[in-house]
Amino acid sequence: MCAEKIQRFLMAIVLSISMVLFFQGLIVYGMILQGFVIAMIIVWALFDFCPSLWVFGKLFGKCPTKVTP
């Protein structure tokens, strides 16, 4: 797997854990986890830098670019 796909799976897993925490009544922990994800997405949008993509790119390599005709 490549960095971008792993990062998308990680984001889905973290948001799922946040949702489970909400349903189990641990609303504060769910909000903290969701706030962290939101903050990371804002950093990614503002600075075009995502720390998780940087780390995963070093560990697993980047995805090959698709060539469209």
CB atoms within 10 A of CB 43: 13
pTM metric for this prediction: 0.75
- On whether residue 68 sits in a domain, the answer given is no
- On whether residue 69 sits in a domain, the answer given is no
Q: How many distinct structural domains can be found in the chain?
A: 1
pLDDT tens profile 6-56:
888 988 999 999 999 999 999 999 999 999 999 988 988 999 888 888 888
- On whether residue 16 sits in a domain, the answer given is yes
CA-CA-CA-CA torsion sign (52, 54, 60, 66): positive
